[in-house]
Structure 1
Amino acid sequence: MLREMTKTPFYVLLHPFQGFWDLKYENKGRLRVALSMLLLLTVATILLRQYAGFVVNFNYPYDLNSINELQYIVLPFFLWCVANWSLTTLMDGEGKFKDIVMATGYALLPLILMRFGNVLISNIITTRESAFYYMIDSLSVLWFVWLLFIGTMTVHQYTVLKTIVTMLLTLVVMGIIMFLGLLFFSLLQEMIGFVVSIYNEISYRI
């Protein structure tokens, strides 16, 4: 397990084209490793928000809730996977849902490394040096997007243009899913409130 957590993800990090090809077509990817990457990113983000140096940390520690990180990391992760799978099924994509989860999970490695590293860096830099912190953070996001782009293109066997269009449409589909989800829960809440009010009215009259 330890070897799976280090060798293949770092190979994908440095050799993305061959790495993602191996994940799908050489059966070198593991779903548990991809989900472990998601867990590590959640932990790294919590540590960064809690223990980053005061130079770059504008969060009030007592107001932070680690559970909230699930809605900012885990929820978008699975929303992306579901939206991408739903969309690419209609666009002749070759990737299965498992392939999309693995590609997305392995692409998270730059964010994990940079955020763990930034926890240490933020506690030793001065205000003038804070630009390096933000530069590292920006580079990690760009690296992640680059890996996600290559992973999507490789998994579905798309052209560059079709991959770009698919990724943009995936973001749109994510927004639609979130809107429908909020609408559903809003209607459900209204229905429950209506039923409770009727029950209370009947109880008072009896």
Structure 2
Amino acid sequence: MQFLKDIKYSLHVAMHPFDGFWDLKYENKGKLRVAVLMLFAVTVTMILKRQFAGYVVNFNFPLDLNSIDELKYIVLPFLLWCIANWSLTTLMDGEGKFTEIVIATGYAMLPLILVNIPNILLSNVITLRESSFYYLLDTLALLWFIWLLFIGTMTVHQYTVTKTITTMLLTLLVIGVIIFLGLLFFSLIQQIVSFAYTVYQELSLRG
């Protein structure tokens, strides 16, 4: 089945990123549906992690967790990264299309899935003294993800190492600007709505 082959190929990308991301871009082996599946899987595993990780490493109160709220910690940063990176690289002679950025970012998230699942199980059998193994695996997964994202960004845009690092740092800056402008916009809308409602109440009382 082709879909299973596409998923299996994501493992090749994680283990052989230079060849893998090159083929994703130039051999059309990257599939948008697989990238979306990766995003969904990371979201699910992160929700499971917050809900079912052992009490030794889990400081969340399960009854206070809202699975929908968890989306803003995963899906929103993913979309912001792709939008900010695409917006920035169009000004910096990047060769990557928006779809290619989404695919590369999605494939880079595989380590988070591979580590989260066994880490949830591990967290339920370890002691406080052994919790360092849990945090070590978490750190390795994050570093692996950043490494894959770096290679994916470099390959998609055909940048040098220095330009890739600069672009990734600037992308984070652009994300900050987008968030600031978004908050400013919603605050302005809220004030306009509040003002309009106050005027409506005044007119209603005088009428």
Same-fold status (TM-score > 0.5):
yes
- Per-residue CA deviations over 1:116-153 (Å, capped at 9, x if unaligned) read 11111101111111100000000000000000000000
Give, in whole Å, the separation in 1 of the partners of 2:204 and 2:159.
Answer: 62
Q: Is 2:151 the counterpart of 1:150?
A: yes
Q: How does 1:38-187 map to 2 (within 5 A)?
A: 38-187=39-188
**CA shift for structure 1 position 171:** 0.2
Give, in whole Å, the separation in 1 of the partners of 2:47 and 2:165.
Answer: 31
Give, in whole Å, the separation in 2 of the partners of 1:16 and 1:151.
Answer: 8
**CA shift for structure 1 position 14:** 0.4
Where does structure 1 differ by over 3 angstroms across 4 or more consecutive aligned residues? Answer: none
**CA shift for structure 1 position 205:** 1.1
2:4 corresponds to: 2
**CA shift for structure 1 position 69:** 1.1
**CA shift for structure 1 position 58:** 0.8
Q: Give the aligned residue type for 2:145.
A: F
**CA shift for structure 1 position 3:** 2.5
- Identical-pair percentage: 68
TM-score (norm 2): 0.98
Give, in whole Å, the separation in 1 of the partners of 2:116 and 2:183.
Answer: 31
Give, in whole Å, the separation in 2 of the partners of 1:111 and 1:35.
Answer: 14
- Per-residue CA deviations over 1:47-98 (Å, capped at 9, x if unaligned) read 0000001111111111111111111000000000000000000000000000
Q: Give the aligned residue type for 2:97.
A: K
**CA shift for structure 1 position 8:** 1.3
Q: Is 2:187 the counterpart of 1:190?
A: no
Q: 2:21 aligns to what SS in structure 1?
A: helix
Unaligned runs of 5+ in 1: none
**CA shift for structure 1 position 2:** 2.5
Give, in whole Å, the separation in 2 of the partners of 1:96 and 1:75.
Answer: 20
Q: How does 1:3-22 map to 2 (within 5 A)?
A: 3-5=5-7, 7-22=8-23
Q: Give the aligned residue type for 2:86.
A: W
Q: 1:93 aligns to what SS in structure 2?
A: coil
Q: Give the aligned residue type for 1:189.
A: Q
Q: Give the aligned residue type for 1:2.
A: L
**More displaced stretch, 93-102 vs 61-70:** 61-70
Q: Give the aligned residue type for 2:5.
A: R
